[in-house]
Chains A and B, each alone.
Chain A
Amino acid sequence: MSPQPPRARRTGAEESTTSSEASEDVLDRLRAGDIAALDEIYRVYGDRIFGVCFGILANRADAEDATQEVFLRAFQQAVKFSGKSRYSTWLLRLAANHTLNFAKAVKRRKRVSRALPEDVASPAPDPDHAVIGRERRAAVVRLLQELPPEQRLTLVLREIEGLSYFELSEVLGVPVGTVTSRLIRGREKLRALVTDSESDLLAPG
């Protein structure tokens, strides 16, 4: 069997990032405090940032709040983006830091951080994913919650965002070797969880 054909946004590092970056002009306007520029930024990155936040937080309300916070920070701190990295990298770093802190705080509050089924089982209408089945998605998101936050974040950024290892190391601020081992350990753990879950939804094939 050959690998699954990837979704458009995930066709490898080069394409995933160059085809969907905001223009310099928009970033300049954002720095100048132009709300319309923020709207454009959101149109380009909104789904991606929300997808990552949801993958980490497993709760739509939290993911919405986190997404809002990320974009508001992007707006308020627009001048801090120097252009040294890609804008998506910078934005994802904001999202990563925020969701990681949030996830850790949640974990501290309640040792067992299982998302409520209704939180994950009622996604917004989403034609692309209609066939996949909400229950399965909910089950996966719940299982992801069992991973340590760093592993979860790395895995979600890899699979959902399609970031390369180099991009992951930039976004997460860790060496590529750490990225590699987090992915190996995260996948091992997730595989064990899927096996243990005995859910038909998660049976391959």
Chain B
Amino acid sequence: MSTMDCLTTQKLLSAMLDGELPSDLTRSVERHLNQCSRCTEEAEELRFLSAIVREAGTRAPVGLGARISCSARDTQQSPASWTAALAAAWPRAAAVLVGAASVALISFPLRSAPSSPVETRTTFNLLAFESQAELDLAGSFGEDFQALARRPEGLLLHILSGGER
């Protein structure tokens, strides 16, 4: 049986090591590896790469599951308000949203500030972040805005807590 050349072998190595080659091709590659140290070395390197990427896997942090079911519970109370649910249990995003909400509120001051969670959601609904891109855009308002929003006396936190402006 004719033996496979180096170039072909190296093209097939990746799929072979993934166990995705038909068995006859796998055998041909293996035969070549048995007599070619260069391609064997190549195979070793690919195995090593696979191993280190695999090891980069990690587990979810403790408490994330609870955070998720918490915010899911919130969505359930107000099914239309998906962003608000995120905001409720997603501090970082909430900070961004709060920052963006400040913009919205500065532009369109609300006469009656939301005082209940449901009304708060309504405020968030106005923002209607449908995509990560929009969220990113809100994030790009920058640190100052987010810092402002995070401060206890921050504009929107004030409003969210039901206080007067």
- Chain A residues within CB distance 8 Å of chain B: 1, 3-4, 6-7, 10, 12, 33, 35, 38-39, 42-43, 46-47, 49-51, 54-55, 60-61, 64-65, 67-69, 71-72, 75-76, 98, 101-102, 105-106, 109, 123-124, 126, 128-129, 132, 136-137, 140-141, 144, 155-156, 158-160, 164-165, 180, 183-184, 187, 190-191, 194, 202, 204
Chain B nearest CB, measured from A4 CB (Å): 5
Contacts of B50 in A (CB 8 A): 4, 159
Partner of A68, one of B15, B58, B71: B71
Partner of B54, one of A7, A101, A102, A109: A7
Interface of B is mostly: helix
Partner of B47, one of A3, A39, A106, A158: A3
**A200–B42 alpha-carbon span in the complex (Å):** 19
A60-B61, A75-B75, A124-B61 are contacts. A65–B93 as well, Cβ < 8 Å? yes
Contacts of B82 in A (CB 8 A): 72, 76
- A98, A123, A159: which has the most chain B beta carbons within 10 Å? A159
Closest residue of A by beta carbon distance from B71: A72
**A182–B140 alpha-carbon span in the complex (Å):** 31
**A126–B62 alpha-carbon span in the complex (Å):** 10
- Other contacts beyond A38-B68, A68-B90, A72-B72: 8, CB < 8 A: A64-B61, A65-B93, A71-B72, A76-B75, A76-B79, A105-B136, A109-B140, A165-B18
B85 on interface, CB distance cutoff 8 Å: yes
Contacts of A35 in B (CB 8 A): 69, 72-73, 76
Count residues of chain B with CB under 8 A from any CB of chain A. Answer: 49
- Chain B residues within CB distance 8 Å of chain A: 11, 14-15, 17-20, 44-62, 64-65, 67-69, 71-73, 75-76, 79, 82, 85-86, 89-90, 92-93, 131-133, 136, 140
